Amino acid sequence: MKSFLGIATVFTLLQTIAFSQVKLNGNDFQARLDSGANVQLVDVRTAEEYKQGHLVNAKNIDFRKEDFLKQTESLDKSKPVMVYCLAGSRSAGAAKLLSENGFTEIYDLEGGYMKWNVEKKPVEGVVKSEEAVVGMPVSEYNNMLNSEQPVLVDFTAKWCAPCKAMYPTIKKIESEFAGKATVKVIDIDANKTVTEHLGIKYLPLIYLYKGGQIVWQTTGAVSEKTLRDVITKNL
């Protein structure tokens, strides 16, 4: 009997934890923000990221700071908390930690600020300039694609763990196909003009171009053999 009660308790606890952390797409996230409910919106990115633009009325609490939990003491555990980061990894970790520390209703933005921006949803704190170009201009990117060789483009970011894991493979492929194919690594934070123009939503992301057209693409980690085979096929 005790064993059964123990299992039931664990099952109930797991259900509670699962319910307390809900991932919402951009439309549902915005609808909940606009519903008039007394929600607490938290941007868990760094202060530097926050200053470049954030969701309207978001409070900044950096998930990677040692005092993250201490700062969340200013939040009301009885009210909903809505969290987001740049792409979704940090906010997922923040949602889990909040759930483990007594918060019972947590909503996590799927795709993060990056996807929210691509979908042209409301933000504030952005310094707008029509002429500002951050990193590679779109014209330079397009010129790179006008090649007789296949062009492999790897979109990455310093904060993206799978991207970091893929980097040695990408460099190996670049060396192996030198003179036969172009391999370009593009950091989305350092090249915002191009990545916003292309509407990049997820990382890791790899495009293979031939004749200026995308002939293959993949998201997530991919094997060295897969990259070698797809480039060889398009030589």
**What ranges do the domains of the chain cover?**
2-124, 138-233
Clarify whether 85 is annotated catalytic. no
Q: Tell me yes or no: is domain 138-233 CATH 3.40.30.10.
A: yes
Report how far residue 100's alpha carbon sits from residue 117's, in angstroms, rounded to the nearest whole number: 30
Please give the order of strands across the beta sheet that includes 213-219. Answer: 182-187, 151-156, 205-210, 213-219
- Active-site position among 33, 83, 114, 163: 163
CA separation, residue 56 to residues 51, 82, 87, 148 (Å) = 12, 12, 17, 46
Active-site residue, from 98, 136, 160, 181 = 160
Q: Tell me how far apart the alpha carbons of residues 176 and 168 are, in angstroms, rounded to a whole number.
A: 12
For residues 202 and 211, the answer to whether their CB atoms sit within 8 Å is no
The encoded tokens of residue 229 equal 């085979």
| Residue 163 bears catalytic tag | yes
Instruction: Encode the chain (235 residues) as per-residue pLDDT tens digits.
Output: 444 444 444 444 444 444 467 899 999 999 999 987 788 999 999 998 898 889 999 999 999 999 999 999 999 999 999 999 988 889 999 999 999 999 999 999 998 998 898 788 999 987 655 556 678 888 888 888 888 899 999 999 988 889 999 999 999 999 999 999 999 999 998 898 888 888 887 888 999 999 888 899 988 888 999 999 999 999 8
Please tell me the CATH superfamily of domain 2-124, with its number. Answer: Rhodanese-like domain (3.40.250.10)
**Can you tell me the distance from the alpha carbon of 24 to that of 223, in angstroms, rounded to the nearest whole number?**
30
pTM above 0.85, yes or no: no
